[in-house]
């Protein structure tokens, strides 16, 4: 469906994208994930035809579109700040593209009403000026404006980043439902790993203009292929060589103490006993910090040369005090190892 063929983008000597080679399948919800300035938005804008690549080609449905202007690519774009036209009503905003395409007024009204219903905008809201709407409603208008033209591909550039946490979660679900319902191929840009993991069929993790890993959310999380992906996705503890050597002494899996070793926060557990069939190794430590998060607490335990982060569901029980000696159970098979220690 979509193919980035060795795309390179440079701005005034700065290389925003080095050599992007990526494919997105039809009907897929594909996310470009990465920190600010990693090139993910540039990649999206290149696909939209708003940025000219300095090398490489973009293909859509097997057709090279690199030289095609944005409106000839059949892509609908939702911008980070929605880019709504401030002097127009909601209805005029949604109908803008249809008017440009000289769609008849009756057909235009029907299409606008139809898409407004799908994104949950009332007739009342359609008559309002966009400035009178909340952030969430503005976002719906932006999506409606893009979808009303029935594009083959929907591009979303951090569309939830300006919204509060609760609304973000709600719209995440709605957006995913809308995509599943319409089956439209969607390329979504975000720096929010939760968004990426919960919404995507596949994710490409960007770093410094390059793709570090492409895979399903589970693959990206469970089998992070690089140290950057491991650090960027989820929460991990860096285990020192003394601790990994200790784990080796009590486990059949041999870890290389000379390598960078990471353990996902939920893969460590506090307490004694063998709840995992004897795979885990208990290490002694002392609590050095505790952050209360409501549903759970996040402890930091000092053990050997490492600070191990542990999530504990306390369910109303009193938490452990800082300084309390505890044991942490670690399954060495869950430790992810990357390049050599510095």
Please report how close the Cβ of residue 41 comes to another protein at its closest, in angstroms: 11
CB 312 within 8 A of CB 270: yes
Question: Least separation, in Å, of the C-beta of 93 and another protein?
Answer: 9
Please give the structure tokens belonging to residue 1: 């469906």
Question: Closest distance between another protein and the C-beta of residue 42, in Å?
Answer: 13
Least distance to another protein, CB of residue 253, Å: 49
104 binds another protein (CB under 8 A): no
84 is an interface residue for another protein by CB under 8 A: yes
CA distances, 171 to each of 11, 41, 179, 244, 295 (Å): 34, 20, 12, 42, 23
**Interaction between residue 10 and another protein (CB under 8 A):** no
Task: Give the range of 71-79, 114-122, 284-292, 333-341 binding another protein by CB under 8 A.
Answer: 71-79
Q: Which is nearer to another protein, 82 or 232 (CB)?
A: 82
Interface with another protein: number of residues (CB under 8 A): 30
In the complex, least distance from residue 78 CB atom to another protein, rounded to whole angstroms: 9
Q: How far from chain centre, in Å, is Cα 193?
A: 4
77 binds another protein (CB under 8 A): yes
H/E stretch holding 273: none
The two most distant CA atoms of the chain are separated, in Å, by 76
Q: What is the per-residue DSSP string for 295-340?
A: S-EEEEEEETTEEEEEEE--TTSPPPPTT-EEEEEE-GGG-EEEEE
Nearer to another protein, 87 or 295 (CB): 87
Residue spans of alpha helices (H) in the chain: 40-48, 90-100, 105-118, 123-127, 135-147, 165-182, 193-199, 217-222, 227-232, 241-249
Asked whether position 33 contacts another protein by CB under 8 A, the answer is no
Q: Could you say which of 69, 278, 316, 318 contacts another protein (CB under 8 A)?
A: 69
**Applying CB under 8 A, which of residues 29, 30, 82, 262 lies at the interface with another protein?**
82
Which CB, 96 or 304, lies closer to another protein?
A: 96
For residue 143, which of 160, 167, 166, 129 has the smallest C-alpha distance? 160
**Residue of 21, 26, 71, 123 that binds another protein (CB under 8 A):** 71
Pair 218, 205: CB distance under 8 Å: no
Q: Which stretch binds another protein (CB under 8 A): 76-84, 219-227, 236-244, 305-313?
A: 76-84
156, 186 in Cβ contact below 8 A? yes
**In angstroms, what is the minimal distance from the CB of 52 to another protein?**
10
- Name the residue nearer to another protein (CB basis): 49 or 332: 49
- Where do contacts with another protein occur on this chain (CB under 8 A)? 48-50, 69-71, 75-77, 79-88, 96-97, 100-101, 129-131, 138, 145, 149, 162
């Amino acid at each position: 469906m979509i193919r980035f063929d060795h795309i390179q983008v440079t701005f005034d000597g700065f290389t925003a994208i080095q050599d992007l080679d990526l494919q997105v399948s039809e009907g897929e919800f594909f996310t470009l994930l990465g920190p600010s300035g990693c090139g993910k938005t540039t990649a999206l804008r290149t696909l939209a035809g708003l940025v000219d690549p300095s090398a490489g080609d973009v293909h859509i449905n097997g057709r090279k579109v690199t030289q095609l202007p944005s409106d000839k690519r059949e892509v609908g774009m939702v911008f980070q700040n929605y880019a709504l036209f401030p002097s127009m009503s909601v209805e005029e905003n949604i109908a803008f593209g249809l008017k440009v395409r000289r769609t008849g007024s009756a057909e235009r009204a029907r299409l606008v009403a139809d898409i407004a219903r799908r994104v949950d905008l009332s007739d009342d809201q359609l008559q309002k000026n966009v400035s009178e709407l909340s952030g969430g409603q503005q976002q719906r208008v932006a999506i409606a404006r893009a979808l009303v033209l029935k594009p083959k591909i929907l591009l979303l550039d951090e569309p939830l980043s300006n919204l509060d946490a609760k609304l973000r979660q709600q719209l995440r679900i709605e957006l995913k439902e809308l995509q599943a319902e319409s089956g439209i191929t969607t390329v979504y840009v975000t720096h929010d790993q939760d968004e990426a993991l919960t919404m995507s069929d596949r994710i490409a993790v960007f770093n410094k203009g390059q793709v570090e890993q492409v895979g399903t959310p589970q693959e990206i999380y469970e089998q992070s292929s690089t140290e950057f992906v491991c650090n960027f996705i989820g929460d991990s503890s860096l285990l020192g060589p003394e601790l990994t050597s200790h784990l080796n002494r009590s486990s059949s899996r041999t870890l290389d103490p000379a390598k960078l070793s990471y353990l996902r926060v939920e893969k460590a557990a506090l307490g004694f006993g063998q709840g995992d069939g004897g795979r885990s190794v208990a290490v002694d430590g002392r609590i050095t910090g505790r952050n209360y998060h409501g549903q759970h607490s996040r402890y930091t335990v000092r053990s050997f040369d490492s600070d191990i982060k542990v999530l504990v569901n306390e369910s109303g029980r009193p938490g452990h005090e800082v300084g309390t000696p505890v044991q942490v159970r670690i399954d060495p098979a869950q430790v992810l190892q990357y390049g050599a220690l510095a």
